[in-house]
Structure 1
Amino acid sequence: MRALIRRYLAVVYETLLMLALTLSLTALYYLFVGEANSGLKRFGLQVLLYLAMGAYFVRCWVASGQTLASQTWRLRVVSASGGRLTLSAALLRYAVVSVLLLPAGLTLWWALIDPEHCFLHDRLLGTRIVRS
């Protein structure tokens, strides 16, 4: 259960980091593009934020298996064989996480019932979060 708590605390920390990133990028976007309350400008902002978060996560997972939050909590994402994720595996992980977070954070709730406390995206993709 401690491992699960550690993972959830890393998720909270990651959320705060993503909040800072989205606020900063949104401010810059508004500065250069103007208000993005509707239409193409709003869609452009959403795409920018999604791609920026994706670039952060994918880069971290490929380079070391650790984001800033997972470094703090001494966690690492590894492939089924225990190695680093390839670029394609990291991109797929980001896409699957994105989809599985939409229905009320399903992937996070899944860990409560999973026998090994894996998030649903890790269970589906064969990736694991281990202590580093």
Structure 2
Amino acid sequence: MNDETIPEARYVGLFRRLFAIFYDCFLLIAILFIVSGIATALNGGKAVEPGDAIYPILVILILLLCYLYFSWFWINGGQSLGMKTWRIQLKSNDHGRASDSSIDHKTAAIRFFTALISWGFFGLGFLWALFDKQNRCWHDISSKTVLIDLRARRD
């Protein structure tokens, strides 16, 4: 990809963004069921609970798998499977304009962990998109990225 700006970018609204997240959650839940099943087997057949020796490892593994899922798709094409379904693509937001360049590992990490914080504040970071001109959430702003509606592009 090149670093040219996208002249007529249309930004994705909050609801399409949430629908894409919903799709991605279904895929992640399937993966996390398998991981949880393995953790339960390693825990003597009992559900892993806070205080169990394996609990911190399971939490870290779940966060790592979620991070790897999103970051791999964001770095390699700018679209998770949910984003592809809803025709949404992640782009670098250079100088306030969508750029046709992909993001790097550092940007993906900033975006992912800021999104976790956004959810932690009762979704306030996501609701921010309702007031931003480019429909950006906290994790878009902190990582200097933007979501583009591919239905609007004329290729």
TM-score, normalization by structure 2:
0.76
Residue matched to 2:6: none
Q: RCO higher in 1 or 2 (8 Å CA, sep ≥ 6)?
A: 2
SS for the counterpart of 1:49 is helix
Secondary structure, aligned partner of 1:79? strand
Match of 1:23 in 2: 33
Is residue 117 from structure 1 mapped to residue 135 from structure 2 by the alignment? yes
Aligned residue for 1:57, secondary structure, equals: helix
| 1:87-123 C-alpha deviation (Å, 9 max, x unpaired) | 1111121111112211112222111222322112112
Deviation at 1:33, TM superposition (A): 4.0
Distance 1:18 1:104 in 2: 21
Give the match for residue 72 of structure 2: 59
- 2:31 and 2:128 map into 1 onto residues whose CA distance is 27
Name the CA distance, whole Å, in 2 between partners of 1:76 and 1:33.
Answer: 40
SS of structure 2 residue aligned to 1:114: coil
Structure with the bigger percentage of helix = 1
2:140 aligned partner, one-letter code: D
Aligned-pair identity in percent equals: 24
The alignment's TM-score, normalised by the length of structure 1, stands at: 0.87
- Structure 2 distance, partners of 1:131, 1:85, is 17
Counterpart mapping for 1:1-132 below 5 A:
3-4=12-13, 5-34=15-44, 35=46, 36-39=48-51, 40-81=53-94, 82=99, 83-132=101-150
CA distance in 1, matches of 2:117, 2:16: 23
Q: Which has the larger radius of gyration?
A: 2
Secondary structure (helix, strand or coil) at the match of 1:76 reads strand
Alignment root-mean-square deviation, CA: 1.8
5+ long unaligned stretches in structure 2 = 1-10, 151-155
| TM-superposition CA deviations, 1:47-90 (whole Å, max 9, x none) | 11000111111111111111010011111111124210011111
Task: Name the count of aligned residue pairs.
Answer: 131
Q: Which moved more, 1:114-123 or 1:45-54?
A: 114-123
Question: Residues 5-48 of structure 1, C-alpha deviation per residue, up to 9 Å, x if partnerless?
Answer: 32221122122222222222111221234432132311111111
| 2:30 partner letter | A
